[in-house]
Each structure stands twice: as C-alpha cells, then as structure tokens.
Amino acid sequence: MMDLFEKCRSFQDAKVLIDAGLYPFFKPIESSTGSTVVTHGTKRVMIGSNNYLGLTHHPRVIAAAKRAIDQFGTGCTGSRFLNGNLVTHEQLEVDLAKYLGKEACLVFATGFLANQGALSCLIGRGDAILSDRENHASIVEGTRLAIGDTIRFPHNDMVALDRILTEKRAQYDGVLIVADGVFSMSGEIVDLPGLVKVASKHNCKLYIDDAHSLGVLGEQGRGTGSHFGLVDEVDLVMGTFSKSFASIGGFIAGDADTIHYIKHKARPFMFSAAMPPAAVATVQECLSVMKDEPEIFEQLWKNARRMKRELSSLGFDTLGSQTPIIPVLIGDNMKAFTFTRALYEHGVFATPVVSPAVPDGMQLIRTSYMATHSDQDLDYVLEVFKKLGKQFGLIR
C-alpha cells in the first residue's frame, strides 16, 4: 500500500532545474510598464507576454477600472447565476456580440472555464468532438469533461479531418469541430477556409478558440473569422480577456439559443464567482480604445513583421510563424532552459517551451510582441539574440 503523497516527494523535475539555477518559471514581477518589467531589481524587456496591444497600462483603461471599483467594489462575491450578475456584465455581452458579429455572448470568470463549460455541456453521449492535436490545454480539459467521444485529428490537416469524418460521422448524432484560431506556441493561423469546407460537407458545427486571435487578426482585431471573411460560418467563438483585452475572463459567442443553453447548463459558469467589476470595465474600455485608436493594430503588426524578418535573417528558425507569436527553435530541453537563463541575465524576459509540451527536437523559446514595444526595445532584443545565438551555436 503506497502513501498517497509519495509521488509528490519523488517529483524532482523542477528541483533539478532549481538546483542548477535554470528554473524559468514563477519569476516575481515587481513592477511593469507596457513593454518592460522589473524582476529581481532589474529592468528587462518583456517578450514573453500575451499583452499584444499593450493596453494594460493605457490611461483610459486604468481609469475605467478605478471607476468600476468606486461604483461596485472589488468583487462580486458570488456567481452570476445567483448574486454576482452586474449590469456591466450584461452590457459587455451585448457589446461583444455586436463586435464579433454574433447574436449573443456569455462572459465567464476565465477563458479556461469558458472552454470547459461550453464543451462539457454541449457534447452529449451520442455526440463527438473533433479536436486539433495542438489545441490549448483548456480545450483538452473541456473534452475530458464532455461525456461524448473526442477524436483528435492531425494538426491543421484538412485531408485527415475529412477522412476521419468520412469514416466516422454516421456513428454520431452531433459533431463539433474545435480548433484554435492562432496556435499559441507556433503562432500559426488555423486553416479556417478548410475547416468550414469540411464542416459543411459533413454537417458539423464549428467552434474556434480565438484567445490569441482577438486584437491581432481581422478588422479591428475581430479575430479569425473576420481575418478570412468567414464570420457567419463559425458557429461558436470562444475568447479570453487575459491577452489583448488586458484583463481576466473569457466568453462564448454564437446564436442566441445556444448561448442561452450554455448559460443554464455549463457548471463552470454557474458555480464560479463572476468576473470582478474592474476586470469587466477594463475589457469594455479596451473595446473603445480599439475602435478609437486603430493605429495600435498597425504598430503591433509593424513590430511583429520586423522581428520575424530580422530574427530569420540572423539565421534563427522561427517555424513559419504568421503572427506576433514568434517561436525560436532551440531543439533541446536543457539548451532551451540555459538559453532562457542567458536571455534573462541580459535583460530579456522570454519563456521556454520544452517536451513533453512539444515533441522532442522541437523545444523552443516562445517570443511574442506588443504594439507598445519601442524600436529601442526591439533593437536591444535583436542584439541579445544575435550575441547568444552565436554563443550557443544556433546561428553562424
């Protein structure tokens, strides 16, 4: 008979990295601006954030959050289903639905809960989810909670998806195809036209996780559907507020009947405390800033294109990224940890992605860029990458 906690005592993976001085996680941030942070008393350029539009420090956004605290206090102290539903939650849902071109929207406490809640309540015993193999962990957890079947299809492979559905579609009542709009590690954009074609052919519904697409792709950052001109062909859009919207929370948007069903069936929504007032006001003001200051999208893409071009020209493999998420291939776990530590010591904050999160040989440094990065920030990052790339034998 084994002690339940024996696995905890024997877990050494993180301790080995800590002892070697290479542990890259849980760095305490002492202060931050739009593009830099202070950690361990040193100012560093942040290229490991999802703050794509840099709105976390926008004066209008900060002022809106403060006003919401003055009006509603610091928290809702209950679920929206019971005592935590604010008029601002409902107004945000109306505004988001209009922004996304959908009939209705439902706001959750986090993006993780939005995926868990929607997927777990929509998929019954006779149904199935077809999920891209590189979908985010929150989608994976949602599929685990769903009582129907889950079939994972090869990443962004429409031929394989079509073949699976040709073989298996008749076995199920309903089928939901689920994919990220932008894949968070590679920066790759999903083949949405291909998904739409396959979904239509096999009478499936289509669910797109736009966590890393909103604020990045499409007109005024409206996401993957807008980017491809296929808004109406996407049945459900999921998104988060912890990236371009500078806050915390998530949502599901779609037709009114489906959103009404999720609202009354999704346990992660019904039994989680509501988004706090300041978080709601932050998202609302971000929507206004995105409308009033379209130049932030131009600046984001200017920075992203520059970094993609110049990192590639230095000789780094950026894995064909199409977005402000630009991976730098390292190819080895320990080298990725060591490279990340060297970046940190040179004043650049980035994050490693190692196996088993990626296949062996595909270990990388995940870099991402913001509208608020200055030319000086990016010059410095490139200088550091050039120096360390040569030192580590990654570039000539």
Please identify every residue annotated as catalytic. 184, 212, 243
Place of tokens 């590690």: 185
CA distance 371 to 383: 20
Task: Give the count of beta carbons closer than 10 Å to the beta carbon of residue 95.
Answer: 15
Sequence-distant (≥ 6) Cβ neighbours of residue 355 within 8 angstroms? 333, 362, 363
The enclosing H or E element of 263 equals helix 256-265
HSE of 303, CA atoms in CB hemisphere, 13 A: 27
Task: Give the count of beta carbons closer than 10 Å to the beta carbon of residue 284.
Answer: 20
Q: Are 184 and 215 in contact (CB under 8 A)?
A: no
Percent of the chain as helix, strand, coil, to the nearest 5: 45, 15, 40
Q: Which whole-number Å values give the CA distances from 7 to 3, 11, 19, in the listed order?
A: 8, 6, 20
CA distance 157 to 41: 46
